[in-house]
Structures are given as C-alpha cells and as structure tokens.
C-alpha cells in the first residue's frame, strides 16, 4: 500500500499592481499590497510551524496582464515564490494577459505533476473579452487520458474558474461547459478540485465523489488563503486569513527607511499595511544611535563606550540625521501613527538621547539593550553575563522609558542560556517602574514564562512587530498565541496590554 500524504498551500487572486499601468480597482481590492501579502503568508505559516509540501497559485496574479511591464510584475511574484523555498505551481487567470509569457515564467506544462503520491492536473482555461470561458475539449479528454494512464493515482484538478457549485451572479464565473467538466472529473476519479476567481471563495463541498473548493482572494480583506491536508483518502481544508481580528492592537515598535538595519521597510507602506490588517495604532520608533551616527560608526557600537563620539555628533547642528527624522516624523504623525525613539545606553549608563531631543514631544520611548559593555563573546561566562545584563537593566528602567524592548534577547543572540531565574526579578523591576514588557518576534523568540511572570506582577504587555522587513508589519498572530499560552485572553486585553499615555499628537517634534 502506497503511503500518500501532502500539504498544499493554495492562494489565489493577488491582482498585484506593481510596475504595470493600472486599471481602476474596486476599493476593497488591495493589489498594491499583494506581493507583501504573499510574503506574509509564508511568514505566518513559519510562525505556525507549518511547512507545506507545495504552493498552488490559482490565477489572477496580476491586475493588468496586458501592460508592457506585466512580465516584470510576474517575475516579481515568481521571485517571491522562489524565495519561499517551497515547490510551487501557478496557472494564469483572466487578468494575467499572455498565457505563453506566463507559461514561460512559471514553467507551465500539460504533463501530470506528482507530489506526495497525488497527481495534479493543471488547466489553463481560455477567456474571451466578455470574460466568458470554457474548457477546451482536448483538456477534457486529457483528464481521461491521464486517469487511464495512471490507474490508482488520486487526481487533483487545479484551475482558475470555479467548477462547482453554481454561483448566482450575472458575471460568468464558471466555465460555460461546467457540466461536462464535472462529468469528466467523476469518470476520471478526481478526488479534489481547486479553483480561485470567485473572490468570496466557496466552502468545500462534495459532489459525485469529488471535493470542490474555491480559494478566496488574497487581495481582499481579511486576506485569506487555504491549507489543504491530504492523507490517504482523507482531505481536510482550512481557510486562514492575515488580518488582526482583535480590537485595540497597538504596534509599539516599527522601523522606517531611516533604519540602517532595515531591509524592505518604509513608513508609508507600514502604515498602509497595518491599517489594512486591523492594527489600531502604529508607532514608528527609530533607533536613536542610527540617527545620530553615520552607518559605520553606528553599527560598530564604539559610541557606547566613547563619550567623545557622542559629544561630537551632538555638537553638529543637525545631530546626524536626527533633525531630518523629526521633520519626517512630524509629517507622518496622525491619530493612527505615533512616533518615538528606540534608545540604548552609553557612557556607563546614560540614555542615548540628546537634551534637545529629550523634550521633543515623542509619543513613546523604548529602551533597548543590544550590546552590554564588558561582555566579550566567547570569553565572558554565563554568570558574568547575567550580572552585566542585570546591571544594564537596572540602569535602563531608572530612565524615563515606556517599554523595555525584546527582553532577554541579548542571551539568545550571544548563544547563552536564557536565565529563567531572572524572569521574576526583571518583571519586578518593570512593575516597580511602570514600564511595559515587549513581545517581539523579530529575530527573537519570546518566552511565555517571562510574559506570565510579568502579567502576574501587573506589568503591561506591549506588542511589537519591530518591523525591519515589510512582511513583519502588522503580523500579530504569534503575539496573540503567546498571550493565550500565558493565560491572557482577549477579554483581559484592556487591562493587560500597554496603552499609550499620550492620546493627542499636538506637541511638535521639530
């Protein structure tokens, strides 16, 4: 007996609006976010601990496949799929333009594709200018031929248009010869039919021995996608979405194009994405050390022990890029967007923020311990490292900060053991000083035991994307999951989660 098992990620209808000239999209379609939404799907699955065996993209990757730059937009989607390092198959929809060009980029073939003991048949159905489509007779016959040549192989049919059930609409979603297609699936022993095109999606439904499922559009809220798990004759379909469905989620820590350590992040895109994903408020909190110093100096951290470097930077009229950032921050500030700084210690415990910037009217200050003075990788012992770390924590919480960023990440990044015996000690210090503890998944794995210790001592919990990559922005599934493990339910959020002290944004930053 053949052991068959396959997990499929199915996404559909991105309607990506990249370099191609755009048509007028309905307001509910967010094609401008589609490439990032696709990447976020892979980020979400990684947080969930799920690695699909195969990704299926079920058509309408683009909004305007007939533009001269459509090929470049297809290449952009193709590169995002390649970066996932998960095998993928894609087929064109009615918006994707030239099928030959699409087929060349995505290596479409009429050959049977076999994954995990299941055979996949891909159909590139032809559309007319009226949006009507039908399946070619040769494709219908191909279904029978493949079934005959592969007896006993469970078959999965993959296409853009939904096949079953009927859709009550004047728009011709289904192929004109759907009845003939359904009959061909039944005769060929197809066990599963996957489609896209109908943006609302259709729940799985079995008809004449075939399970039919239409995957909802990724480009429309709540930005859904499907996981299909097959094991033997059993098929399970799970629809997931990217949107934050809980109220009052504040992202206290996100970076901008001013961050040297940023990759694809920029403030405008983070704002648009966070709003689309249901975040209640977004704080752009930039590294102060990356604003005061040029990149080489900033990332070398010499300033941390050399007060002269800091003094020299602060003596300059613009204080590096700080005044520029303050002007920028003032423009993006709004009831939704708050602005602040992520600040480190320097010169034996001083806070790295110039006197002229301390009273600038920031909405939030986040304290961070990226490097610990006196710690030497590979030489400092675990016990000594813990002592040095606690020295800096005690100094940091004595300053006027709102949130302690990524607590205990220092140990993980330096290949040291996380000192769990210090969790209640640090939680107590935060409680005494009225400082929130941050839950942060950027190159970090928060520990539920620490969050539980903080909650038990009345420490507010601050949720942070710490977005350096745009795909991190607005991603709070792991945070909510961690809170649940710590015993913090959504009903407890109003009391348990951090809230900004400053509700107005009238104080000038410039």
Q: Could you read off the pLDDT of 301-320 as tens digits, one per residue?
A: 999 999 999 999 999 999 99
Q: Would you mind telling me the total number of residues written for the chain in this entry?
A: 510
What confidence score (pLDDT) does residue 508 get? Answer: 65
- Asked if residue 352 has pLDDT above 60, the reply is yes
Q: Which two tokens stand for residue 409?
A: 């990440």
Q: Could you read off the pLDDT of 368-403 as tens digits, one per residue?
A: 999 999 999 999 999 999 999 999 999 999 999 999
pLDDT bucket at 335, cuts 50 / 70 / 90? very high
Strands (E), 189-333: 190-195, 202-207, 210-214, 224-231, 234-241, 250-254, 281-287
Mean of all residue pLDDT scores within the chain? 95
How far the first Cα of the chain sits from its last, in Å, is 72
What confidence score (pLDDT) does residue 123 get? Answer: 96
Q: Could you read off the pLDDT of 213-247 as tens digits, one per residue?
A: 999 999 999 999 999 999 999 999 999 999 988 88
- Asked if residue 277 has pLDDT above 60, the reply is yes
Q: Which two tokens stand for residue 300?
A: 């070398």
pLDDT bucket at 332, cuts 50 / 70 / 90? very high
CB 417 within 8 A of CB 450: no
- Asked if residue 275 has pLDDT above 70, the reply is yes
Whether omega for the bond prior to residue 89 falls within 30 degrees of 0, making it cis, is no
Q: What is the mean pLDDT of residues 184-196?
A: 97
Spell out the domains of the chain, with CATH numbers in brackets.
5-241 (3.60.21.10), 250-496 (3.20.20.140)
Q: Which of 206, 125, 124 is nearest to 165 (CA)?
A: 206
- Asked if residue 506 has pLDDT above 90, the reply is no
pLDDT bucket at 502, cuts 50 / 70 / 90? low
Q: What is the DSSP letter of 89?
A: E
Among the ranges given (95-99, 277-281, 428-432, 504-508), the one the predictor scored with the smallest mean pLDDT:
504-508
HEC per residue, 406-445: CCCHHHHHCCCCCCHHHHHHHHHHHHHHCCEEEEECCCCC
- Among left, alpha and beta (phi > 0; psi -120 to 50; other), residue 205 is beta
Q: What is the mean pLDDT of residues 403-430?
A: 97
Q: What is the mean pLDDT of residues 173-193?
A: 97
What confidence score (pLDDT) does residue 344 get? Answer: 98
Q: How many angstroms separate the CA atoms of 216 and 11, rounded? A: 8
- Asked if residue 154 has pLDDT above 90, the reply is yes
CB 95 within 8 A of CB 132: no
CB 90 within 8 A of CB 46: no
What confidence score (pLDDT) does residue 131 get? Answer: 85
Return the percentage of the chain with pLDDT > 70, whole number: 98
- Asked if residue 1 has pLDDT above 70, the reply is no
CB 263 within 8 A of CB 295: no
- Asked if residue 490 has pLDDT above 70, the reply is yes
Bridge partner residues of 214 (DSSP): 195, 202
Q: What is the mean pLDDT of residues 482-497?
A: 96
What confidence score (pLDDT) does residue 21 get? Answer: 84
Q: What is the mean pLDDT of residues 142-160?
A: 96
Q: How many angstroms separate the CA atoms of 390 and 384, rounded? A: 10
Q: Which of 161, 151, 204 is nearest to 181 (CA)?
A: 161
pLDDT bucket at 248, cuts 50 / 70 / 90? confident
Q: How many angstroms separate the CA atoms of 225 and 208, rounded? A: 25
pLDDT bucket at 510, cuts 50 / 70 / 90? low
- Asked if residue 505 has pLDDT above 60, the reply is no
What confidence score (pLDDT) does residue 246 get? Answer: 86
Q: Indicate the SS3 state at residue 101.
A: helix
Q: Which two tokens stand for residue 502?
A: 């400053």
Query: What are all long-range contacts of 266-269, with beta carbons under 8 Å and residues at least 24 apart?
Result: 266/470, 267/328, 267/332, 267/337, 268/332, 269/36, 269/470, 269/473
Cβ atoms < 10 Å from Cβ of 465? 28
What confidence score (pLDDT) does residue 42 get? Answer: 98
Q: What is the mean pLDDT of residues 342-365?
A: 95
């Amino acid at each position: 007996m053949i052991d068959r098992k396959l997990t499929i990620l199915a996404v559909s209808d991105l309607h990506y609006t990249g370099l191609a000239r755009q048509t007028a999209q309905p307001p509910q379609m967010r094609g401008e976010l589609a490439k990032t939404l696709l990447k976020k799907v892979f980020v979400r699955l990684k947080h969930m601990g799920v690695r699909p065996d195969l990704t299926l993209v079920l058509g309408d990757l683009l909004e305007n496949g007939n533009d001269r730059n459509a090929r470049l937009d297809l290449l952009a989607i193709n590169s995002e799929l390649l970066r996932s390092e998960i095998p993928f198959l894609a087929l064109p929809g009615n918006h994707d333009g030239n099928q030959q060009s699409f087929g060349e980029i995505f290596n479409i073939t009429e050959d049977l594709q076999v994954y995990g003991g299941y055979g996949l048949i891909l159909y590139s159905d032809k559309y007319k200018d009226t949006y009507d489509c039908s399946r070619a007779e040769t494709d219908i016959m191909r279904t029978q031929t493949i079934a005959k040549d592969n007896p006993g192989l469970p078959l999965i049919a993959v296409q853009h248009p939904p096949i079953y059930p009927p859709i009550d609409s004047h728009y011709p979603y289904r192929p004109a010869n759907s009845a003939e297609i359904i009959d061909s699936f039944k005769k060929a022993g197809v066990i599963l039919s996957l489609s896209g095109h109908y943006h609302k999606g259709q729940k799985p439904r079995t008809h004449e021995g075939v399970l039919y499922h239409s995957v909802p559009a990724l480009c429309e809220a709540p930005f859904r996608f499907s996981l299909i798990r097959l094991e033997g004759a059993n098929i399970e379909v799970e629809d997931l979405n990217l949107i934050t469905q809980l109220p009052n989620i504040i992202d206290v820590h996100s970076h901008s194009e001013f961050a040297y350590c940023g990759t694809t992040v920029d403030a405008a895109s983070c704002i648009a994405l966070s709003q689309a994903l249901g975040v209640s408020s977004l704080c752009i909190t930039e590294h102060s050390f990356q604003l005061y110093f040029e990149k080489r100096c900033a990332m070398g951290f010499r300033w941390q022990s050399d007060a002269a470097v800091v003094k020299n930077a602060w003596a300059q009229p613009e204080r590096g890029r700080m005044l520029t950032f303050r002007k920028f921050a003032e423009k993006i500030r709004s009831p939704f967007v708050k602005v602040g700084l992520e600040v480190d210690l320097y010169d034996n415990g001083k806070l790295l923020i110039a006197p002229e910037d301390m009273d600038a009217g920031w909405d939030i200050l986040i304290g961070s311990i990226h490097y610990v003075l006196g710690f030497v990788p590979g030489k400092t012992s675990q016990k000594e490292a813990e002592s040095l770390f606690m020295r800096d924590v005690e100094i940091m919480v004595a300053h006027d900060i709102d949130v302690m960023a990524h607590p205990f990440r220092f140990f993980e990044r330096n290949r040291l053991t996380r000192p769990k015996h210090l969790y209640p000690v640090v939680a107590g210090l935060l409680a005494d000083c009225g400082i929130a503890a941050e839950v942060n998944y950027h190159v970090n794995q928060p520990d539920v035991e620490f969050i539980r210790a903080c909650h038990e001592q009345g420490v507010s919990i601050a949720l942070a994307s710490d977005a350096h990559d745009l795909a991190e922005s607005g991603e709070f599934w792991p945070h909510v999951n961690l809170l649940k493990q710590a015993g913090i339910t959504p009903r407890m959020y109003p009391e348990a989660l951090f809230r900004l002290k400053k509700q107005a944004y009238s104080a000038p930053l410039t």
